[in-house]
């Protein structure tokens, strides 16, 4: 079984324009990589988040090559900046999910599975997730088991959830 690790929260520098709107430009992405060089040549998945009171995920992506070439493309900066424009307070962060063993080569299939899992988890945490692909969960549910319902759970549901160690959405 492949094992992955989560990085520390990597703060992303930003600037404010004259109107106080935050944005990340080429200059800030260079500063980010100077501060977080150890992740630039790694691959795996990444999550862009904003911290206000807690951390809120806004975008999940994957990189089969190097994070350096993937996470700050113009397309991605557009996504991040559209989120930042909506937040007068809050600080942007990036998390990286990488193989625990740096010599491990991640298959594209496994990387896609991890990305899907992270997108679905992030979508449950934030209904305003910027990702388009992979945000919908399954098209089915087991009443009282896969989704939380109002009121106290039935004994059978609680036993079933405990037996299978199910995480509810």
Whether 37 and 112 share a structural domain: yes
Q: Is the dihedral of CA 166, 113, 36, 3 positive or negative?
A: positive
In whole angstroms, give the CA distance from residue 79 to residue 10: 18
133 band by pLDDT with thresholds 50, 70 and 90: confident
Whether 133 and 143 share a structural domain: no
Instruction: Give me the domain span that covers residue 35.
Output: 4-137
Whether 86 and 166 share a structural domain: no
In whole angstroms, give the CA distance from residue 40 to residue 132: 25
Q: For residues 58-79, give the mean pLDDT.
A: 95
Model pLDDT for residues 17-52, shown as the tens digit of each residue: 888 889 999 999 999 999 999 999 999 999 999 999
In whole angstroms, give the CA distance from residue 116 to residue 85: 26
Whether 75 and 151 share a structural domain: no
Whether 33 and 72 share a structural domain: yes
Whether 30 and 98 share a structural domain: yes
Whether 109 and 132 share a structural domain: yes
Q: Which of 139, 144, 137, 149 is nearest to 161 (CA)?
A: 144
Q: Is the pTM of this model over 0.75?
A: yes
CB 106 within 8 A of CB 64: yes
Whether 21 and 86 share a structural domain: yes
* Number of structural domains the chain divides into: 2
Whether 68 and 23 share a structural domain: yes
The alpha carbon of residue 48 and the mean position of all alpha carbons in its chain are separated, in whole angstroms, by: 6
Whether 86 and 160 share a structural domain: no
Whether 131 and 151 share a structural domain: no
CB 24 within 8 A of CB 81: yes
Q: Is the pLDDT of residue 152 over 80?
A: no
Whether 106 and 125 share a structural domain: yes
């Amino acid at each position: 079984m492949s094992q992955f690790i989560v990085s520390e929260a990597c703060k992303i520098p930003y600037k404010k324009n004259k109107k106080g709107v935050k944005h990340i430009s080429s200059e800030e992405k260079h500063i980010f990589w100077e501060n977080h060089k150890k992740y630039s040549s790694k691959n795996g998945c990444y999550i862009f988040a904003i911290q206000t009171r807690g951390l809120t995920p806004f975008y999940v992506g994957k990189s089969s090559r190097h994070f350096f070439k993937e996470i700050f493309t113009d397309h991605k900066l557009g996504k991040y900046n559209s989120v930042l424009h909506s937040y007068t307070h809050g600080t942007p962060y990036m998390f990286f999910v990488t193989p625990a063993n740096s010599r491990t080569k991640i298959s594209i299939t496994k990387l896609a599975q991890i990305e899907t899992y992270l997108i679905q988890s992030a979508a449950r945490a934030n209904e305003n997730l910027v990702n388009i692909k992979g945000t919908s969960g399954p098209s089915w549910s087991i009443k009282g088991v896969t989704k939380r319902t109002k009121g106290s759970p039935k004994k059978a549901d609680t036993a079933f959830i405990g037996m299978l160690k199910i995480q509810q959405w």
